[in-house]
Structure 1
């Protein structure tokens, strides 16, 4: 009864109190640097409400110099107030419940109300007030921009009610590792929501611990138990997982989600029971969903996620995911130059999304917005983000993990994060509006030139009809949107950006960082061009030597990388320091004056289209490869290397030297046999040498370059034929999908 009377009195107070209005239609929260307002919390405020009040108090002080006291509702004496959270006063005026993490910002004639839904909704409301109404900005992991003013006004009768378009929202870039940035932009962090994340089978049942004693827990592949995936029809696996989750949930009761998902790779179980279930469900996704549903039934109060990815991408024919199971679908196979809704490479993804949305309301998406093989490569998919998120929202997707470069700096990392954050909350915002706000705020007077740079990148990408691959390489784009001519155009725009902010070290550093992807591309392509124009080598005598400008150029690039926060240049790749070491090794190489230099090469089996290098001429361009198989290596998939080099004229040959790459992570292995033959006429060949290599008997994933030399007794020859026998069966320890074949990589045939 007391509460009801108290609420009625508060409503009457709101309707009759008319002071604190300095101009018609506006509320003066702060006037002349002072304020009559107090911040009012519920008598039993939550931790988020308490934090929200403190944040608002702090920022009003920083904005205007005014100090607003924080009081509880029971101490309220009809002062002008900012009501934070679910006070009785707010609940009486705005009784509606807000779904999820939504919020309401409202004003009457004098008072201000911020009300949140679940979770951090109240914090999101405060940050929105600061940004949308007071002009504050949190552009990146940098100090908040605060437009200092002794006047803070809000319109009367304001009603700003916002609900998130997606239940789960994560953009995976460096800025999102900053806690305030995360809350300011209404984002999540998977570590905060998931008790167990991602590929989780072996996090629960690690083979190193359990395979020896329980091989039956693991997949039966080609008639043999292997530590590739779990056997989901095995009752012991189910019992073990139930025990695991019972303890894990007790230890982490606040976790919202728990992942039960296969490892990254193939090798699903083909035992009789799993095969029977898979046949009934249309594939191995059947055993997965049936298994997860059993676990979910044992813990009905919890929410479980799994990955619809690779062999589990399609929905089962019969079994629907349980109500507390979320499907995390992957868009990994789609190229990125066009939106997911239209690009042909996403056709399978679109079918899978439609299939899953027909059987469940609970779909998350694992999306990709960077080039994982080259984080610093220019990757202009920026204009597709809005279209993609609108498409996903229209197809029942409830959450998005937008995987960028993680905590390492990458192409336009701050912009990507900002753009994605805004659109994840509201895909109805326009890319142009968000971009203009960010570029002008983050880059100052350089912003318009950075905008021109991004537009030039995007336009050239489309004009050249370039395929934008998350596992691509800027070296392979030397004829299209990253041609030397195009890079000169982009560079001139960033020259103007630098000039516009001369004297401002902070803004200048941001432009330098923005330029890093162009410099990285130039350096990587120089390895490819080698002795040609734009290469790192210049003529000297009868051979070539390192361009004297190049060591200093690499040094400056590496130093800027460190300042920008580049920790690794690719997913699981080397650091800037490692990159410097790679170049130091390249600079230390002496030019080998090969008789085969620029000689014509013919191949029996063609190079792989995905990794063309210089095609046949890769073997005679005078350049050695490094540990990156996509540069300066002739990549042949699943077949022997059989290459014939024409020396042009008959020569005296004393030695032949070859390098082969070993990189089991990418299924690249040494040839089993290397055979060298010579010929005077190109028709009749004479054996000149043969070497056998030792197969990798145990696990070894580090990339390694192996050199093979053949000494010849001063043979007269015009033609050299080299055969490298491709490994026929990938070692069992590599756990390859059944259809996967070994590749062979050779960088150069030196003839001395």
Structure 2
């Protein structure tokens, strides 16, 4: 039976009191009569488990236990590790997967594991649940000091994982002992090849020139977007790849055959026929994966049910040795997956796959990838999510966080996920209390209140928690300045409670980083307004003198916390400092259009609203982050009419446009400036055509365009930036994807 944390704490009391009747005493007054017994032909994991137990008993109690082979055992008091002959008295047979049990009789202790690292999991569970050790993060283990170690007689603690694959993707999980302590896996350790794998197996640089027919036929032309899965050469090449890869890596449990990220699936006659019969690109994919899997019946293959391949096929079932890794990428995170409306399509896909296979893994998401440091209070959803998934045939979970870079509550997220991935019946409250008290010490109550305040405010303000969101856009809901003041007050109390303890203070400072990041990011948005980084100075605005030092302290703390990226594929702390240095060096321009009313012909993007029309005249300039201070127009021309309020003499109009091909943002094909006295009759005042985008260019750049006018008298200025009609071919956009145009700021001088 799996233990709840209440039972765990009850059992721990055995080690802090005198030995009552019915206990066995492993260590008494710092010495022990026990030996650790290994099978005569112990596995590497059994040997490691015995050594670990020996080391930790020594560190806890000071007692040194010898490790012997079973053939030299002389009936003395013993701890039996692994598949010894003595453990057979429990008649457990073959343990399922990585399960284990911890058992005692009237004198001896027995730990036995199933496959893989089950025996190690058993030893670490003994250390944590019964001896009071903890490993809260990728730091030193918390080890209590006790001269006496006792366990109840006739104990039987048998644990089986609910999920056969369990991964939490946060910095602590990059520590090998943390991984084993918390019974976690790594993709790289289990998969011979994983993720989007088409081009890992058949890289276009190797094959496209000589075999373009291996790749997708898109709009009548072979393109390196996906593979042509009906091509016999693709199948033969892939089979040969796996034949060699499996021989070179026989310990790998899974092999991925999965489409590349994005669209561009093959439309040749054979692929189109399969897809029509199966309801989409998942048809040709599943048929192909099944065929590869049939060539290696003793191996297990996985494929991604992701975006264009998310739906189950209409006819073909995955083979018995094929696992479907379904993605929950489209769901907002403020509510559990089982109830949030945004996960309706995901739930339907999950039920559909569950009707045709028992082998389903989930690729889940628990951070904001565009802003790793943004407060992301999805913590309470994890337990109901995992319980829902386990009830719907999901047998493995990749919980993707921020990877090896520090992010919002990274250690807490990792710890909570690890415990629940092993046993979703544990409660979030009990795990959280254990972690917060152990990790934050005296500051724990206030950290707990801070987390609860985030959750409560998010729900009260009906915030949509988006994994690709931006804390700037939350300035009216759970990250409003008023809410941040409330959170900050709680963290102030946490700092006061941790005073005098540098280790705890550092942890509290790190917990505050998401709030400080939010304040700094929002200050770019507020600009000249309250909470902005600019303050009035004569006829204009200058940088608040406190801001450069505030940024410097933030960057320094980021480095101490282990912030390597502030977003997925984004810059590090030094790059963030450089961004601010550029902003600080920028002189504010006193434009005739500052604060002027703007009318748009086409609407801004709801996903990146900035200040809506006012974005063009708020006195701020956008930088390389398209989600802050840019007027984002998707699929339409920018046509903005600026009302200066009264007729003025205009000698110059200038504006910036953003180029960010990765996000399908391109400079306009044509920029036109017009002026008017009445807002009805407009006269041309200038036109420019940015350089051609015929060649591939993924450089993110802000480009300034200036138009000099001959002292025009006008009240209205109209700026037209014509959006590209089609995404450039080299960007390889999925079907239906349109280009966007981003403009900011329009200065009228």
Where on the TM-score scale, by shorter chain, does this alignment land: which range?
A: over 0.9
Answering whether residue 617 of structure 2 is matched by residue 623 of structure 1, we say: no
2:400 — aligned with what? Answer: 403
Instruction: Give 3-state SS (helix, strand or coil) of 1:602's partner.
Output: strand
Give the structure 2 partner of residue 671 of structure 1. Answer: 668
Q: Where does residue 87 of structure 2 map in the other structure? A: 90
Q: CA deviation at 1:305?
A: 0.5
The answer to whether the aligner puts 1:237 opposite 2:215 as a matched pair is no
Query: Counterpart of 2:542?
Result: 545
Give the alignment partner of residue 191 of structure 2, picking from 188, 194, 198.
Answer: 194
Partner residue in 2 for 1:147: 144
Partner of 1:301: 298
Report the CA distance between 1:695 and its aligned residue.
2.4
Q: Secondary structure at the match of 1:659?
A: strand
Q: Within the alignment, does 1:513 sit opposite 2:529 as a pair?
A: no
Query: Per-residue CA shift, 1:373-428, capped at 9, x if unaligned?
Result: 00000000000000000000000101000000000000000000000000000000
| TM-score (norm. length: structure 2) | 0.97
Equivalence for 2:29 = 32
Alpha-carbon distance in 1 for matches of 2:93, 2:217: 55
Map of 1:441-456 to 2, 5 A cutoff? 441-456=438-453
Q: Compute the displacement of 1:738 (Å).
A: 1.8
| Alpha-carbon distance in structure 2 between the residues aligned to 1:586 and 1:22 | 67
SS in 1 for 2:435: helix
* Shift in Å, 1:210: 1.2
Q: Secondary structure of the equivalent of 2:720? A: strand
- Please give the secondary structure, in 2, of the residue aligned with 1:714: strand
Structure 1 CA distance for aligned equivalents of residues 475 and 419 of structure 2: 33
Q: Deviations over 1:691-720 (max 9, x none)?
A: 011221121112111110000011111110
Match of 2:477 in 1: 480
| 1:394 aligns to 2:414 (yes or no) | no
Shift of 1:23: 3.2
Contact 2:19/2:150 (<8 A) preserved: no
Hey, what's the Cα distance between the residues in 2 that align with 1:118 and 1:247?
26
Change (3 A) 1:22 1:617: closer
Q: Give runs of aligned pairs for residues 282-361 of structure 1, distance below 5 A.
A: 282-361=279-358
Corresponding position of 2:253 = 256
- Residue in 1 that maps onto 2:60: 63
Moved more, 384-393 or 733-742: 733-742
Q: How big is the shift at 1:190?
A: 0.7
- Structure 2 Cα separation of the partners of residues 197 and 557 of structure 1: 36
Distance in 1 separating the partners of 2:704 and 2:90: 79
Quote how far apart the aligned CAs of 1:649 are.
1.3
Cα shift readout 1:438-459 (whole Å, capped 9, x = no counterpart) = 0000000000100000000000
Tell me how far 1:600 sits from its aligned partner.
Answer: 0.4
Shift of 1:67: 0.4
Alignment partner for residue 682 of structure 1, among 674, 679, 686? 679
CA displacement at 1:642 relative to structure 2: 0.5
- Other structure's SS at 2:266 match: coil
1:424 & 1:22 partners in 2: Cα distance? Answer: 34
Give the drift of 1:96.
Answer: 2.6
| Structure 1 position 213 matched with structure 2 position 203 | no
Deviations, residues 331-361 of structure 1 (Å, cap 9, x unaligned)? 0000000000000000000010001011111
For residue 590 of structure 1, give the secondary structure of its aligned residue in structure 2. Answer: coil
In structure 2, distance between residues paired with 1:385 and 1:608: 31
Counterparts of 1:94 and 1:65 in 2: how far apart (Å)?
Answer: 34
1:22 is displaced (CA, Å) by 5.1
Q: Distance in 2 between matches of 1:715 and 1:317?
A: 65
Q: Distance in 2 between matches of 1:694 and 1:374?
A: 32
* One of 123, 128, 131 as aligned partner of 1:131: 128
Change (3 A) 1:95 1:479: closer
Q: 2: distance between equivalents of 1:376 and 1:226?
A: 37
**Does residue 1:416 correspond to 2:413, yes or no?**
yes
Distance 1:678 1:698 in 2: 34
1:613 and 2:610 matched = yes
Give, in angstroms, the shift of residue 91 of structure 1: 1.6
**Equivalent residue for 1:634?**
631
User: Aligned to 2:376, which of 379, 390, 398?
Assistant: 379
CA–CA separation in structure 1 for the residues paired with 2:536 and 2:91: 78
Partner residue in 2 for 1:79: 76
**Shift, 1:92, TM fit:** 3.0
Contact 2:170–2:402, Cα closer than 8 Å, also in 1: yes
Cross-structure match for 1:562: 559
CA distance in 2, matches of 1:655, 1:209: 52
Q: Report the 3-state secondary structure (helix = DSSP H, G, I; strand = E; otherwise coil) of the residue aligned with 1:748.
A: coil
The Cα of 1:222 is off from its aligned counterpart by 1.1
Distance 1:675 1:93 in 2: 84
Match of 1:581 in 2: 578
How far does residue 98 in structure 1 lie from its aligned partner after superposition?
A: 1.1
Residues 670-694 of structure 1: CA deviation (Å, up to 9, x unaligned): 1000000011111111110000112
1:716-740 CA deviation, whole Å, 9 max, x = no partner? 1111001011100111111111211
Unpaired runs of 5+ residues, structure 1, are 1-20
List gaps (5 residues or longer) in structure 2: 1-17
Distance 2:489 2:94 in 1: 54
- 1:159-196 superposed Cα distances (whole Å, 9 cap, x missing partner): 00000000000000000000000000000011110110
Cα offsets for 1:550-571 (capped at 9, x unmatched)? 0000000000000000000000
Residue deviations 1:60-91, cap 9 Å, x none? 00000000100111111111000000000002
Q: Describe the SS at the equivalent of 1:417.
A: helix
1:646-680 CA deviation, whole Å, 9 max, x = no partner? 11111110000010000010000110000000111
Deviation at 1:606, TM superposition (A): 0.8
Partner of 2:8: none
Post-superposition CA distance 1:559-590 (Å, at most 9, x none): 00000000000000000000000000000001
Distance 1:154 1:92 in 2: 19
Distance 1:467 1:87 in 2: 54
1:300-353, Cα deviation, whole Å (9 max, x unpaired): 111111000011101111111111110000000000000000000000000100
Partner of 1:459: 456
The Cα offsets for residues 248-270 of structure 1, whole Å up to 9 and x where unpaired, read as 11111111111110000000001
Q: Specify the alignment match of 1:713 in structure 2.
A: 710
Partner Cα separation in structure 2 for residue 642 and residue 484 of structure 1: 33
TM-score relative to the length of structure 1: 0.97
CA distance in 1, matches of 2:684, 2:383: 62
